[in-house]
Amino acid sequence: MVETKEMEPLLLVEDKTELRTMLRKALERAGYAVDEAPDGASAIQKVRARRYLMVITDLKMPGASGLEVLRQTKQADGAIPVLLLTAYGSVEEAVAAMKEGAFDFLQKPVDLEHLKLLVQRAARQQELLRENLLLREEYSTRYGFPRIVGEHASIREVSQQIQKVAATDSTCLLLGESGTGKELFALAIHHLSPRREQPFVALNCAAIPEGLVENELFGHERGAFTGAGARKVGKMDLAHRGTLFLDEIGELPLAIQAKLLRVLEERRFERVGGTQSIDVDVRIVVATNRDLQKLAEEKLFREDLYFRISAVPMTIPPLRERGNDVLLLADHFLDKFSREFGKPGLELSTEARQRLLHYRWRGNVRELQNTLERAVILADGLSIHAAGLQLPFSKPDTEHVPAGMLAENFNWEGSLEEVTGRAASHVEKVLLENTMREYKWNKTRAAEKLGVSPKTLLAKLRGAGLEE
């Protein structure tokens, strides 16, 4: 048995049932998923409703012709290649169709090997066109999935991984710091999957008191506890046939982890207070900013559940590691909030853009979004300056400043000259004190080591408050 390729299906349009069946079986044996349409009208409805890897259509059909299918397909999505099947004597029409954007044409009787070769070529073309689908605005607008803003290699890599895994039903584990946009990526997985027309249900495990998580996730039966006057449907029920996103999975209580593992392995669960097992068809995506492997080692997270959900782990990079994506996102949010608050024409000054670029963004994309929203609301003129961003001055991470080089309470605020002056004074004091201790406060030897005169050393020691 040939494994079906993880990509959109082909649409096969042919009014003759026997030929359509023969072609479908040949393409399925080659590993392609195939959707069928017996006429042009139904084919046009299908291409308007979803994405296809390729449309293979007979040229001459009753009602809407293959040429009309070609035109409507190109109108719906100009990137979908259309292959025309033509009878003897229709070659001129096929050539005319090529001028309207047809991918190629194939004469009947169909040479199956030639057909598969053309489909392979079209699949490769589609792969190139749709690379980093999540990053392309035209596709997000057309198909309604979230657009991921970014050009950095790390974000492109994650986007490509998501496009591959979305076509499967595997459980996905999204890793990354708070504010990196894990729910946005979970939504993208859902919208790119075959479950896109079904519900997307999200539950933040950290936002619900421990005693209520089971009830929120699985629901309860009437009379399950005091006050349970009616059956309550949980998130698991609501996500049936769709996608359930469990954010902050590391906060899920151990007892509930066991029930979740059963859902993943057996596709069934019981409501609180219930005795009947309920079958459920749900794709589960989980996310966390914690180290689940370490939690499993500390017996704070079930090891079997960890291995079950970590088959396809994807790490969303922090904003500070995405280079100029900070400015792309800033422009995106600036445009969004300018329209939302009726302030067209707003721009970020050069100083503001530099401030955004060099800020550490510990709150990641969420912090950047909040910063731009605040700046737009408070903006008076048409330009947002660095001060208008109201970003706090934060000290560099420890890897950028050697331990002990600067005091923990070092003041990073002020102009470049002021901050570097304070830093130089502090470093000079550390060096003086260490050298004097090394030479047991012998000023002559310390002065020789530092390459200054004893008189200069004495002045330096007095200035730093180190004179004995």
CB 57 within 8 A of CB 34: no
State the Cα–Cα distance between residues 366 and 180, nearest whole angstrom: 7
368-385 average pLDDT score: 94
pLDDT confidence bin for 431, thresholds 50/70/90? confident
Using pLDDT thresholds of 50, 70 and 90, give the confidence band for residue 217. Answer: very high
Q: Which one-letter DSSP state was computed for residue 246?
A: E
What is the band of 3 on the pLDDT scale with cuts at 50, 70, 90?
very low
Judge if 10-129 and 146-315 fold alike in CATH terms: yes
In tens, the pLDDT along 7-28 reads 678 999 998 999 999 999 999 9
**Stronger pLDDT, 2 or 412, i.e. the higher one:** 412
Question: Taking the domains of the chain in order of start, what are their residue ranges?
Answer: 10-129, 146-315, 319-389, 400-463
Element (H, E) at 61: none
Mean pLDDT value of segment 307-311? 92
Measuring CA to CA, how many Å separate 224 from each of 40, 229, 362? Answer: 55, 9, 43
How much of the chain is in helix, strand and coil states, percent to nearest 5?
50, 15, 40
**146-315 has which fold?**
Rossmann fold (3.40.50)
CATH of 319-389, one of 2.40.10.10, 1.10.8.60, 3.40.50.300, 1.10.3720.10: 1.10.8.60
Residue 53 tokens, joined: 């890897």
- % of the chain at pLDDT higher than 70: 89
Architecture of domain 400-463: Orthogonal Bundle (1.10)
Note the pLDDT of residue 192: 83
CATH architecture of the domain with residue range 10-129:
3-Layer(aba) Sandwich (3.40)
